[in-house]
Structure 1
């Protein structure tokens, strides 16, 4: 959905984006990798307005920071 703006489940193009954010006490669209909001990795959400399907995406910088944290495992 991020690249095509089309829902892979229902084919709709009614796609909304909720940009990643970091707020007090870990609120927002993020993954906390430390003790403060400055350490949060922001997660963008793509939502189909027709069927409700969602995707979450993390940018290259966020992936790099996750890989260096102890919150990441395979």
Structure 2
């Protein structure tokens, strides 16, 4: 949905982008990659307003690299 701007389930074009955020006590849509909330990688949600299907994307290349470094097996 991030790239196609349409829902893969119902083909609707009613897509809502919900930006990732990092709030106190780890709240928000994020992935912790360090010791504090300030190091959180933000995860953006895309929601289909027609059927409710959602996807999550880490949009920052730097955040992807930090997640890969911390969590790769």
TM over 0.5: yes
Structure 2 residues without counterparts, runs of 5 or longer? none
Task: Specify the SS of the correspondent of 2:66.
Answer: helix
Question: Within the alignment, does 1:22 sit opposite 2:22 as a pair?
Answer: yes
Superposition deviation, residue 9 in structure 1: 0.3
Task: Specify the SS of the correspondent of 2:67.
Answer: helix
Report runs of 4+ in structure 1 exceeding 4 Å deviation.
none
Aligned length: 72
TM-score, with normalisation over the residues of structure 1? 0.89
State the distance in 2 between where 1:38 and 1:49 align: 31
Provide the aligned C-alpha RMSD in A: 1.1
TM-score, with normalisation over the residues of structure 2? 0.90
Query: Where is the helix percentage greater, Structure 1 or Structure 2?
Result: 2
Corresponding residue of 1:66:
67
Task: Specify the SS of the correspondent of 1:25.
Answer: helix
